[in-house]
Amino acid sequence: MSPYDPSAHPPFAVTVDLVVLTVRQHALCALTVRRGEPPFQGRWALPGGFVRPDENLAEAAARELAEETGLRAQQPAPATSGAPGPYGTGGAHLEQLATYGDPQRDPRMRVVSVAHLVLAPDLPAPRAGGDARSARWAPVDDLLQAEGGAPEEEQRAQLAFDHARILADGVERARSKIEYSSLATAFCPPEFTVGELRRVYEAVWGVALDPRNFHRKVTGTPGFLVPAGGTTTRQGGRPAQLFRAGGATLLNPPMLRPEL
Partner DNA sequence: GATCATAGTCGTCTCACTGACGATAAACAT
Partner DNA sequence: ATGTTTATCGTCAGTGAGACGACTATGATC
- Of 160 and 200, which CB lies nearer to a second copy in the complex structure? 160
Q: Are β-strands 87-89 and 27-34 bridged in parallel, bridged antiparallel, or unpaired?
A: unpaired
Asked whether the CA dihedral 218, 221, 224, 225 is positive or negative, the reply is: positive
Near DNA by CB under 7 A, which window of 21-29, 101-109, 134-142, 188-196?
A: 188-196
Distances (CA, A) of 22 to 118, 171, 227, 232: 9, 11, 24, 22
What's phi and psi for 254, nearest 5 deg? -70, 165
Report in angstroms how near the CB of residue 123 gets to a second copy at its nearest: 22
Q: Which of 241, 244, 246, 248 binds DNA (CB under 7 A)?
A: 241
- Of 173 and 199, which CB lies nearer to a second copy in the complex structure? 173
Which option in DNA, a second copy, none does residue 213 bind, with CB closer than 5 to 8 A by kind? DNA
| 204-233 binders of DNA (CB under 7 A) | 210-213, 215-217, 219-220, 231, 233
Report in angstroms how near the CB of residue 244 gets to DNA at its nearest: 14
Number of residues that bind DNA (CB under 7 A): 27
Q: Taking a C-beta distance cutoff of 8 angstroms, is the pair 75, 66 a contact?
A: no
Which option in a second copy, DNA, none does residue 210 bind, with CB closer than 5 to 8 A by kind? DNA
- Of 23 and 97, which CB lies nearer to a second copy in the complex structure? 97
- DSSP track, 28-70: EEEEEEE--SSSSTTSEE--EEEPPTTS-HHHHHHHHHHHHH-
State the DSSP H helix or E strand holding residue 170, giving kind and residue range, or none if neither: helix 163-180
Judged by the rule CB under 7 A, the positions of this chain that interact with DNA are 193-196, 198, 210-213, 215-217, 219-220, 231, 233, 235-241, 253, 255-256, 258
